[in-house]
Chain A
Amino acid sequence: KQEVTQIPAALSVPEGENLVLNCSFTDSAIYNLQWFRQDPGKGLTSLLLIQSSQREQTSGRLNASLDKSSGRSTLYIAASQPGDSATYLCAVSPLYNFNKFYFGSGTKLNVKP
């Protein structure tokens, strides 16, 4: 069974700082990896999806990279803002079942003004 780990569990940074969130997975045979944002008490919002054939995806100030061989993905946030404060989760789908997703526990980010 795929295990997904996100470190750190919580992170507090001053506004304007560039930061990196980490996601690791135990089985490198993945179909895709998806990063989500979750605000308190709300559902998940999709940020970026990386297919197994891709190395990275970018959207605005966000950049996600994927290294399947080492079982890692990183989410880079440039010039962080207080509005970026949320929990960030990653999820992977395995090659043997494209439609099933395994989630990490998330990194809770606090960006201080």
Chain B
Amino acid sequence: EAEVAQSPRYKITEKSQAVAFWCDPISGHATLYWYRQILGQGPELLVQFQDESVVDDSQLPKDRFSAERLKGVDSTLKIQPAELGDSAMYLCASSKGQEVYEQYFGPGTRLTVT
């Protein structure tokens, strides 16, 4: 069964350092999402791509976060510089982007900023 891949699974970094996360969606899925989930809360959308274009980044802290999906397939989310408050689970999800619009999630990256 096809799955969304993410790496790394865990990341510990010091504040003010740069960190990057990678996501490979299910093949053929046009829509890709990056979410941030703080412990005890639901996922919050950071950025949504349709193919290689950003369609929603209204909740992305653009002074330190950036995201790209250059060829409309895999995607990278970067934080520079990391802050203590960025410690969270970062989840990637994908969807066909048509008909039923069902989301499929990857295993997530647990980020700890010290």
Contacts and interface: CB of A to CB of B under 8 A. Distances in A.
Contacts of B55: 99
Interface of B: 4, 6, 31, 33, 40-45, 48, 50, 55-56, 89, 91, 93, 95, 97, 100-108, 110
B41 A32 contact: no
Given A93-B101, A105-B40, A106-B42, A100 B48 contact: yes
B49 to A, nearest CB: 10
A10 B62 CA distance: 34
A46 B102 contact: yes
Nearest to B102: A49
A1 to B, nearest CB: 11
B110 A49 contact: no
Interface of B is mostly: strand
Contacts of B48: 99-100
A103 B101 contact: no
Nearest to B106: A43
A49 B42 contact: no
A44 B105 contact: yes
A56 to B, nearest CB: 16
A88 B42 CA distance: 10
